[in-house]
Amino acid sequence: MNHQKHRQRIRERFFREGLDHWDSYLQLELLLSLGHPRKDTKPIAKDLLKRFGGLAQVMDASIEDLQQVEGVGEVMASVIKITKDMGRAYLNAKALDMDLINHPHLAINALRADLKGSSIEQIRVLFLNTANKLIANELLFEGTLNQAPLYPRHIVKRCIALNANAIILAHNHPGGSLSPSAEDKQITQLINTALQSIDVKLLDHIIVSPDGWMSFQQEGLLQ
């Protein structure tokens, strides 16, 4: 069949050059073919992109929402979600044995992969050892930053338990704004003060949104 010849061509192209500079529908078509080897996945890929608005949004969609698109069953939806989670695992593994002070992009990439697609606000912490290597990447809270006294105590407790020397704090703004709110600034200061009492450094506070990211450290907001 024609679509089988087309699939063979895109696989051969992938083997030659990888996925760089491909149209999103071709990238998604190739991925979906893993879940349905004999089915023409091009129209399904295009329908998914039309429904959700882009490749990132497709990868972030829930299994239930993915299956609302005609032709997407549990297997295809699972392939999409497994691929996204494997990407997150890869980025965390890349960060694990590196000095994150000298390679800050690895920390940013890991945090963006964890936070960018969430529809609710989440607070994550990267715990680092004395060599600035990652000990743990933990989701500590979900919801809003309106319980300020709770967060410093819990973060201090985890730092002591993990014997952390420094942390990178991060949370997401699902609505898209990258501007830190007054609450963001207040909780950052409270956490920083609490950490100083146990000689742990707050290296940065990263805000992630669908539009990008911002750094408290780069903006001069850490005191």
pTM: 0.68
High-pLDDT (> 70) share of the chain, %: 91
Dig out the tokens for 128 from the structure. 């680092």
**Digit-coded pLDDT (tens) for 27-74:** 888 888 887 777 788 889 999 999 998 888 888 888 899 999 988 888
Q: Please, what is the angle between helix 104-115 and helix 74-96, to 10°?
A: 150
Task: Please check whether residue 145 is in contact with residue 183, taking contact to mean a CB–CB distance below 8 angstroms.
Answer: yes
**Digit-coded pLDDT (tens) for 142-170:** 775 544 445 788 999 999 999 999 999 99
**Digit-coded pLDDT (tens) for 170-219:** 988 887 788 888 888 888 999 999 999 999 999 999 998 887 888 898 88
**Digit-coded pLDDT (tens) for 53-65:** 888 888 888 889 9
> Can you list the domains of the chain with their CATH numbers?
2-88 (1.10.150.20), 100-215 (3.40.140.10)
Mean pLDDT to the nearest integer, 80-108: 77
